[in-house]
């Protein structure tokens, strides 16, 4: 059964100059124990989708979906209190910029111990306090913080960005969530700490069977261990499917451009040679083109592209393009 099943998620922002549709009919489904990657450039609505799932979006945003099922329960139709309870039990989220999303007025110990569920502790007041201390220590150790005493006793501004990020992860895994949504967890980190964080998430996924929804704009770092990949462009899902298929045989011109802009994966690119890059820049949300939003930048755009392409599916590989890229046929007998 699907853990999370979302169909036609649309997120809109009503403004004076009309409605801005920041996320346009996105489908997403996730099974237990799977790692999914959500890839896209800034302004493509990745974080919005994550926030809509957890339900922490600002009231100004209008979220609609045909269905948004969490283990068979439709989150959109639940009353807010129930929804909050359900989400807080099973879903955890790591936010962007950890030093900003931690409470600056509380020490790390308080913040981490706050996220430990009360039900998991037993005994009287004093015993529980001891247990709590032990749990915080264990959690900090688990995410790779060695001097737990110093870290637990300091405020977020006294710690480096990398350690703040690890504290965020410790808080997120305190409840043993079934799904962890990681919103660009490694942008602030350098490569060695980044690898540590990935190793940690990977081991949690394998040992605890925790599903992970990774949000990132760096393709190369998540492709090695995610099962499926969703590529977003300006709020439209352009391509989705098993990572290997999407990465090795992209059908959408945008995915192809993303893959080709990685020096390690652009085959046959000589040293210091130009990359393959799409022209132009990402349009701002106020001036989105109609139809396929890649249209003005797409090298293969034609007249039909002013109509929004329907999502087509073949062998679990979804794409939304009128003119998908064709695989080069291997000739059996070259003459």
Partner 1 sequence: MQPILKVQSLHKTYRVRVGLLKRKNVPVLTDISFCLGKGETIAVIGETGAGKSTLAKLLAGAEQAETGQILLDGTTIEDDGVRQDHCRHIRMIFQDPTRSLNPGLTIGEILDDCLSYNTELTHKQRDKKIAHVLIRVGLLEEHYHYYPHMFSGGQLQRVALARALILDPKVLVLDEALSSLDPSVRAQTVNLLLALQRETGLSYVLITHHLSLVKHMSDSLLVLNKGKVVEYGKTAQVFAQPKSKVMKRLLNV
Which stretches of the chain bind partner 1, using CB under 8 A?
Answer: 41-42, 190-192, 194-195, 217-220, 257-258, 260-264, 269, 271-278, 281-282, 284
DSSP conformation letters of 10-36: EEEEEETTEEEEEEEEEEEEEETT-EE
Q: In the complex, what is the shortest distance from the CB of residue 36 to partner 1, in angstroms, rounded to a whole number?
A: 19
State the angle between helix axes of 191-208 and 161-173 in degrees (0 to 180), rounded to the nearest 10: 10
Q: How far is CA 169 from CA 12, 90, 111, 115, in A?
A: 30, 15, 12, 11
**Residues 74-80: contacts with CB under 8 Å, at least 24 apart:** 80/55
Cα of 271 vs its chain's centroid, Å: 33
In this structure, is the dihedral angle defined by the CA atoms of residues 103, 109, 110 and 113, taken in order, positive or negative? Answer: positive
131 vs 269, beta carbon nearer partner 1:
269
In this structure, is the dihedral angle defined by the CA atoms of residues 242, 248, 251 and 252, taken in order, positive or negative? Answer: positive
157 vs 315, beta carbon nearer partner 1:
157
Q: In the complex, what is the shortest distance from the CB of residue 37 to partner 1, in angstroms, rounded to a whole number?
A: 14
Q: In the complex, what is the shortest distance from the CB of residue 329 to partner 1, in angstroms, rounded to a whole number?
A: 28
42 vs 122, beta carbon nearer partner 1:
42
Q: In the complex, what is the shortest distance from the CB of residue 243 to partner 1, in angstroms, rounded to a whole number?
A: 16
Q: In the complex, what is the shortest distance from the CB of residue 186 to partner 1, in angstroms, rounded to a whole number?
A: 11
Cα–Cα dist 114/198, whole Å: 25
């Amino acid at each position: 059964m699907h853990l999370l099943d979302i169909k036609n998620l649309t997120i809109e922002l009503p403004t004076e100059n009309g409605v801005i549709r920041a996320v346009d009919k996105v489908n997403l489904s996730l099974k237990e124990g799977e790692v999914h990657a959500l890839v896209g450039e800034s302004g493509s609505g990745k974080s919005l989708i994550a926030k809509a799932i957890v339900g922490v979006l600002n009231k100004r945003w209008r979220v609609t979906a045909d269905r948004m099922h969490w283990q068979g329960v439709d989150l959109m139709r639940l009353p807010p209190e129930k929804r909050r309870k359900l989400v807080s039990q099973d879903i955890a989220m790591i936010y962007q910029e950890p030093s900003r999303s931690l409470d600056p007025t509380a020490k790390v110990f308080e913040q981490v111990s706050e996220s430990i569920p009360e039900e998991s502790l037993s005994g009287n007041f004093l015993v529980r306090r001891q247990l709590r201390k032990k749990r915080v220590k264990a959690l900090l150790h688990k995410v790779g913080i060695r001097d737990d005493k110093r870290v637990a006793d300091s405020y977020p501004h006294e710690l480096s960005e990398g350690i703040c990020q690890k504290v965020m992860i410790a808080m997120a895994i305190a409840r043993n969530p079934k799904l962890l949504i990681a919103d660009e967890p490694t942008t602030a980190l350098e490569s060695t700490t980044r690898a540590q964080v990935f190793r940690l998430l990977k081991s949690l996924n394998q040992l605890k069977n925790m599903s992970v929804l990774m949000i990132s704009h760096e393709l190369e770092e998540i492709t090695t261990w995610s099962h499926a990949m969703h590529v977003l462009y300006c709020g439209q899902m352009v391509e989705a499917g098993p990572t290997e298929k999407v990465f090795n045989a992209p059908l959408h011109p945008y995915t192809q451009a993303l893959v080709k802009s990685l020096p390690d994966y652009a085959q046959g690119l000589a040293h210091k040679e130009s990359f393959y890059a799409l022209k132009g820049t990402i349009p701002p949300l106020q001036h989105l083109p109609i139809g396929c939003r890649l249209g003005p930048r797409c090298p293969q755009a034609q007249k039909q592209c002013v109509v929004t392409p329907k999502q087509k599916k073949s062998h679990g590989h979804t794409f939304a393009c009128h003119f998908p890229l064709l695989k080069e046929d291997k000739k059996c007998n070259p003459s």
